[in-house]
């Protein structure tokens, strides 16, 4: 299997599958103790208690995924840059200092991701890349890194399981002022045993190819124009590479600094956005607009006036790449992996996204996503944590979790699409 991937990063402005019938024990005998039971305690009366606080479980898609053979696990994780944690201590008022120590956190991160048996890791806020290289090579991973431009000291990294993947293309940079989406390409080969079952004879199957994008979008809640410009260039590049390499599937993951109800989320999910319907300062959903904010609609406002009031020429050019267009479009048909695998109301919102992927003293909510094109289907995802459980931690990082974000984990499968070469 061959995987081609893109990675991206930003800088601040200037400008077991679900059980089948055959797998179920329908006899009256007492079932053997399962490994998952080790996470359960017994009460004094011998009754099973709830799992320990912080346990995350796989949740399976309700669709029949048994016919999908080519699958891979992707982890997207904002691991909290060491320097960022030091520069913003106000975000971690309730966090014991030892929980912020990098040596401790990186061990927790490694321990966590090993449980998911991933093929691809997309990390954001990486400022100790070579530490990760040394740590993850013990688990068989290779990696590439793209630093942010400007004064920032962190960036994005993609790691891949080298027994399954090898790097095909180096990093391709896409710059928007100080933002720098980038690209890298691992390739993965999958061999299946021959029909006679002889382990020394293998049938080499044609390879699969995908584009994997990793990004960390601008944080500034008021600069929706820059955020949109970053995402526009990012998805345009992914689409161009997909076409260049034979209409291969696309996976885009990362910290988008935008909530599920935001205009930016809408743009990714629907492939289009009318800027006249949205205030630049509310594009990401990170802050609520004051009562003095005015809302415009295309049917009630003069286009020139709205551009002057909401979107000046510079802002419009950053967002759309033009000073006259008021619509954004992209040609990728993207779906959210988590929204595609229904979860529990304790962990999901009305759109199917996690209620929270990040938690510190000034924010609790969802800004991280894994998107995929129509040639891929989500088989399962690792559920996030209920809000009540998160609050009990007093803030992230915690005793169990090594970052102020939760990792997103999904297993994706090639459906009938994908290019074999």
Residues 226, 228, 234, 240, CA torsion sign: negative
Token digits of residue 181 = 């989406």
User: What gap in Å lies between CA 210 and CA 214, rounded to an integer?
Assistant: 13
User: Domain 53-194+202-270+332-420 is of which CATH architecture?
Assistant: 4-Layer Sandwich (3.60)
Which DSSP string corresponds to 189-254? --EEE-TT--TT-EEEPPPEE-EEEEEE----TT-HHHHHHHHHHHHHHHHHHHHHTTS--EEEEE
pLDDT confidence bin for 86, thresholds 50/70/90: very high
Considering only residues 385 and 49, tell me which one the structure prediction assigns the higher pLDDT. Answer: 385
Give residue-wise pLDDT tens across range 314-325.
Answer: 999 999 998 888
Supply the pLDDT for residue 43: 39
Give residue-wise pLDDT tens across range 130-169.
Answer: 999 999 999 999 999 998 877 888 999 999 999 887 666 6
Reported pTM: 0.80
Residue 42 has pLDDT above 50, yes or no: no
Give residue-wise pLDDT tens across range 359-416.
Answer: 999 999 999 999 999 999 999 999 999 999 999 999 999 999 999 999 999 999 998 7
Tell me whether residue 357 is exposed, middle or buried, using C-beta atoms within 10 angstroms of its C-beta: 0 to 12, 13 to 18, 19 or more: buried
pLDDT confidence bin for 281, thresholds 50/70/90: confident
Q: What percent of the chain has pLDDT over 90?
A: 58
**Domains of the chain, residue spans:** 53-194+202-270+332-420
Give residue-wise pLDDT tens across range 238-258.
Answer: 999 899 988 999 999 999 999
Considering only residues 15 and 118, tell me which one the structure prediction assigns the higher pLDDT. Answer: 118
């Amino acid at each position: 299997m061959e995987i081609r991937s893109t990675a991206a990063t930003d800088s601040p402005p200037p400008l077991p599958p679900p059980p089948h019938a055959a797998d179920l024990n329908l006899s009256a005998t007492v079932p053997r103790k399962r490994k998952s039971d080790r996470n359960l305690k017994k009460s004094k009366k011998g009754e099973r208690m709830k799992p320990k606080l912080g346990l995350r479980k796989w949740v399976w898609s309700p669709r029949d995924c048994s016919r999908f053979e080519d699958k891979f696990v992707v982890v997207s994780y904002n691991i909290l840059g060491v320097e960022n944690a030091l520069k913003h201590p106000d975000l971690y008022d309730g966090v014991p200092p030892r929980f912020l120590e990098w040596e401790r956190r990186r061990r927790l991160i490694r321990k966590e991701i090993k449980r998911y048996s991933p093929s691809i890791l997309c990390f954001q806020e990486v400022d100790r890349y070579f530490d990760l290289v040394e740590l993850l090579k013990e688990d068989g991973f290779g990696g590439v890194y793209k630093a942010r431009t400007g004064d920032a000291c962190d960036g994005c990294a993609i790691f891949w399981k080298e027994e399954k993947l090898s790097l095909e293309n180096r990093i391709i940079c896409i710059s928007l002022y100080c933002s720098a989406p980038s690209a890298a390409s691992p390739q993965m080969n999958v061999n299946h045993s021959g029909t006679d079952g002889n382990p020394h004879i293998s049938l080499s199957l044609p390879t699969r190819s995908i584009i994997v994008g990793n990004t960390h979008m601008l944080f500034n809640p008021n600069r929706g124009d820059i955020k949109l410009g970053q995402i526009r260039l990012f998805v345009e590049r992914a689409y161009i590479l997909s076409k260049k390499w034979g209409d291969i599937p696309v996976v885009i993951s990362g910290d988008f600094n935008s909530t599920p109800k935001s205009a930016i989320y809408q743009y990714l999910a629907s492939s289009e956005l009318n800027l006249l319907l949205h205030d630049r300062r509310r594009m990401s959903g990170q802050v609520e607009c004051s009562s003095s904010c005015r809302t415009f609609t295309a049917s009630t406002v003069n286009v020139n006036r709205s551009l002057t009031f909401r979107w000046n020429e510079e802002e419009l050019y950053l967002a759309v790449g033009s000073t006259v267009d008021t619509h954004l479009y992209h040609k990728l048909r993207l779906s959210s992996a988590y929204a595609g695998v229904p979860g529990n109301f304790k962990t999901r919102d009305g759109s199917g996204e996690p209620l929270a992927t990040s938690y510190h003293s000034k924010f609790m909510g969802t800004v991280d996503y894994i998107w995929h094109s129509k040639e891929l289907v989500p088989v399962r995802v690792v559920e996030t944590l209920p809000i009540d459980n998160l609050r009990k931690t007093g803030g992230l990082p915690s005793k169990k979790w090594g970052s102020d974000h939760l990792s997103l984990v999904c297993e994706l499968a090639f459906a009938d699409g994908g290019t074999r070469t």
